[in-house]
Structure 1
Amino acid sequence: MDVNKIREDFPILNRTMCQKPLIYFDNSATTLKPDCVIQTITNYYTYLGANAHRGDYEMSGQVDAQFEGARKIAQKFINARYPEEIVFTSGSTMGLNEICIMLTSQYLKDGDAVLTCQSEHASSILPWMKASKKIELQYIPLDSHGKITLENVKKALNDKVKVVCLAQVSNVLGYQTPIKEISELCHARNIILIVDGAQSTPHIKIDVQDLDVDFFVMSAHKMCGPTGVGILYGKKKYLDVLEPVFYGGESNARFDQCGHVLLKESPLKFESGTQPIEAVLGMGQAMKYIEEIGQDRIHAYEVELKRYFLDKIKDMNHIVVYNKDSECGIVTFNVMDHGKMIFAQDVASFLNTKGIAVRSGQHCAKLLPEVLNVNSTVRASFYFYNTKEEIDTFVEALKEVTLENCVNIFF
C-alpha cells in the first residue's frame, strides 16, 4: 500500500494546526475525506441538484439513478441479500434509535430484557434506557481486559432477554466482539441481534449474511464519507412488517381524511422527507474508495502502525496503555507524572500545540470508566493515511508531556 500516494487523495492533510503540519489521529471520531468524495458531492450541487423520487424530468431521473445506485453499492459493501434491506439514515445513532423505538412499540413487552455491555457507545444504551416500555437492561460482564467473551455471553443469556445489542468493535478499546458466534446463540433462543458497526465497517470486511445479524447500523463519516448519513440494515422479514418511526412525504403511497395510510414498500417507507442526497452519493463513492484499497489491507496496516507505536513507547514508563492486545488501530492511554495521572484533556491540549489531533474524555462510553477504574483516557486512532513518521513525531511529543508542560500551554 503506497501510503504517500494515498495521502495525495486527502487535501486536508496539506493544512497546518497550531503552525505545525497536521497529524490526524482522531479517526475513530471521524475520518478525513478523499478528493473523490468531495468531487462527488460538488458534482451533485453543480450538475444534478434535483430531489430524488419526486420529478418527471430528465435531471430528476438522473438523481434517482444515482441515489438508488448508491443503495446497491451499500448492499454490496455489506453483502445484504436485497437492496431493499438498506435504509438510509443520518448515521448509526439514528439507526439504533429507530430500531429501539420500532421494537419497543411493536415487538417488546413490559419486563422484557435487552442485553448489552458496559463498553457500549451511548447510542446503543440510552435509547433502551429511555424506551416507551419498562425494558430491563442487562449487562454482559467484561473480562479483565474489557473484552466480551463468548463464555460470558452464554452466562448472561436468559429467558427474559429478547434483544441483544452490541458493537462489533469497541470504540474505546478496539476489541472485536464474536458476532457470528453470538448470532448463533441468539437465534437458538429466538433473540433479535442488533449490531453497531460504526467502528468495524471502516476497517474490516462486513458480510451481514455470514454474520447472520438481524439489524446492523453504520455511519459514513467514519469511513471517509460525508457526515450526516449512514445506513440501517435490517433483514427483509423484519423491515416488511415494522411500522416506521417517521411519517411524511415519500414513505406513503396514499392516505385519506380518515387516517387510512398505505405505506410504500421497504426501504422507502422508512425514508420520509428529502434525504441528504449529496451525502448518500458521497457515501457510495467512499465505499467504492475503501473497497479499492481493500479492508484487509487497511486493517493489517492499522495493526502494523499500532504495533510500531507500542514498540516505540515500550520503555516510556509514564505511558499507561489499556488495550495493548486489541487487534486494531486504536491506542487508549493515559500519561503519568510522578505517579499521578495527568488529566486526559490536558494531555490532548498539549498534543494540539504539536499539531497532533487526538480524542480525550470518556468517548461516549460513559459506563466503561467503571471497568477501567479511570475517569477519562486519551485515544489515538490510526487510519490508512497515517504514517510511521507521524507516529515518530507523536512519540517525541509524548516524551515532553508533564503536568507542568501541560499547564504552561494556557499561559
Structure 2
Amino acid sequence: MNYNSSTMEDLPDELILMIFSYINALELSLVMSKVCKKWNSLIHSRIIRIKCAEHYKKLHKGLQVIFVTNTDLSIQKSETLISYIIRLSPRLRELTINSDFPLDKNNFKSLSLLVHLHHLDVFAKKQVLNRDTHINPGINSLVVNETISYAFLASLRQNKMSSFHMYGRADYFIPREMDCFLTIHAAQLRDLTLRCSEMTDARFRVLAHCVNLMSLQLYTCPMLTKHGITPIVSLPALQRLHITGTVLLRSRGLLELIGRLPPLVNDLNLSGSQFDSSHCGALASRLPRLRALELWRCRVERAALLKLARRLPALTRLDTDVELKVPQIKELERHPALTKLRCRWKGVVTTSLSLTSSLQVYSGSFLRNSSEGPSAELFYFWTRDSPLTEHPQTSLPTQLLDNPCLGFKNIPCEQNDYMTPVDSD
C-alpha cells in the first residue's frame, strides 16, 4: 500500500476511529498500525498483544482489546493473567486467549467484573462448556472452543448474540438445543460458524430464520443433501458462505445449490464436495462479483479452474489444491483483480502474485486436522482472516514434502474420493 504519511497524520481522530470500527482488531494491530505514527499510537492505546509477562506493564484503563496469542511461560497461568486484566483494564471490550492458558470455573465468573466485555474467545480447563460456565450477559460475540454440553446454549438466552463460532476443540452440540438457540437469536445473528457432523437435512431448516446472516460457515456436513439446501440459499444478506465436506450432496444437487446461491455472496468455499468442471459455468453466471473462492478436495480440473477464474473478473483470492503449471500461474498474473493464489506446482516460479504452496506445512497447534481445506482446518478463530506462520520446508521430513495429499496439514492424510485430480493437459 502507498500511503501519504502526512495526509494520514492530518486526519481527525474521530474519522480515524470510525474507519477502525470496520476493521478487525488483529488486522489493526498487525497491519494498520504500520501506516503512520499517529495510527500506531491510536491503535496501541486501545489494542495490545500480550506476548510475555513484561507486557503486563502496558495494561491500562483505556484498553479495549487484549490478545494473548503467544505461548510464553513468563505469562505464568490463567489466574494471574485474568487478575491483571480485571484490575488494570476494567473497560475491556474484547478478550482473546489461546489454548495454553485455559480458564477454570472461577476464571469465567471473574470475567463478570468486565462489564463492558462483548467479545470472548477463550478455552476451558475442563474442555467442556455446560450450564455452570458463566458467560457475561453483555457478550454478543462468542467463540466456543470446547464441546458444548447440556444446557450451555440455554444459559445464553439473555445474551443478544450477533456472532457465534465453533473453533478450537468444538465439534459437537445437542441438536435440539442448537435449534432453540438459533431460533432465539435469529434476528440479531450476523456471523455464524457451525461444525455440522451430526446435522441432518431437517436440522438445517432453523437457519431459514436467521435472515440477517452475512457470514455463514458450515464445516463438515456429511449428511447434507439437496433436500437440506433451501434454508441455506434463502438468506438474502449472505456475503460469506462456506459449506464443506458435503459427501452426500451429489453433482446435480450441488448444481442446484450453486444456481440458487444468494447474489451478494462474494466469499465462497465448497471444499470437500463433488464440484467439477460441469459446475464452473453455473458458478460464474450466478456469482460474477465473487472475490474469494476456496476449492480443496474437489474434482475440478485445472483447465476448467483457469477458465472459471477468467470469468470472475472481481476474484482477488483463489485457494485450491489443484496443481497448476508454471505458464498457467503466469497467465493468472494477467487477471484484472487476482492478488493471492494458493495452489500446487512443480519447479521454480517467479510471479507478481502473492503465491503460497498448498503443500506448505504449518504448526499442528493451529490446525484441527479436518482434511477439508484451509478454512475448515483452522483451530483459532482469530486466524480466520490472517495468514498462519509457515514452517520452513527445508526443516521437514522428505516424506511429508513429497506426499501429494499433504495439503493444509502437518501430517499426511489418506487418499479419498474428493482429492483433486491432476489432469494430463
TM, length-normalised to structure 2: 0.27
Q: Comparing both structures, which one devotes a greater share of its residues to helix?
A: 1
TM, length-normalised to structure 1: 0.28
